[in-house]
Amino acid sequence: MSELKKQISDALKTSMRAKEKERVTMMRTIQAEIKRVEVDERIDVDDARVLVILDKMVKQRKDSFQQFTDGGREDLAEVEKKEMEIIAEFLPQPLTDEEVTEIVKAAIAETGATNMQQMGAVMAIVKPKVQGRGDMGVVSKQVKALLG
């Protein structure tokens, strides 16, 4: 079992003992999503893949949070915000803008990219390093700015 899956399982048990109903529900949702990926793809996910799953879950909740906020549903937006906070506990420390810029510059130097047609090669190097630690939309914008 991956370290991150064990950490999530332990957090679920702790939350159950503390009778934290909302947290237990979210922990079970995380475990269900990991299990869904394992069953669908017939694999045992490692920590890197768990990070991808958690990152996707945070992104979905950010989108929902924005829609609820725009729609004036602060009650539902607050639920999404709490869920994002719970998921974020299992993600590594977010990268600063400076750290992301350094990673992007290093990837551009490594690939020798000089124009937008080579953006895919740069992103292929950057994505594994930033996954779960930064917003890929922001990273993409930085790559475009540096290549464009």
pLDDT value at residue 76: 96
- Which CATH superfamily hosts domain 3-88? Uncharacterised protein YqeY/AIM41, N-terminal domain (1.10.1510.10)
- Give me the percent of the chain exceeding a pLDDT of 70: 100
Q: Do residues 58 and 83 touch, judged by C-beta distance below 8 A?
A: no
Judge whether 3-88 and 97-147 match in fold.
no
Which CATH number is 97-147 given? 1.10.10.410
Q: Do residues 58 and 12 touch, judged by C-beta distance below 8 A?
A: no
- The per-residue DSSP string of 31-87 comes to HHHHHHHHHHHT----HHHHHHHHHHHHHHHHHHHHHHHHTT-HHHHHHHHHHHHHH
Q: How confident is the model at residue 43 (pLDDT cuts 50, 70, 90)?
A: very high
> Which pTM was predicted?
0.79
pLDDT value at residue 133: 83
DSSP state of 90: T
Please state the domain extents for the chain: 3-88, 97-147
Give tens-digit pLDDT for 51-93.
Answer: 889 989 999 999 999 999 999 999 999 999 999 999 999 988 8
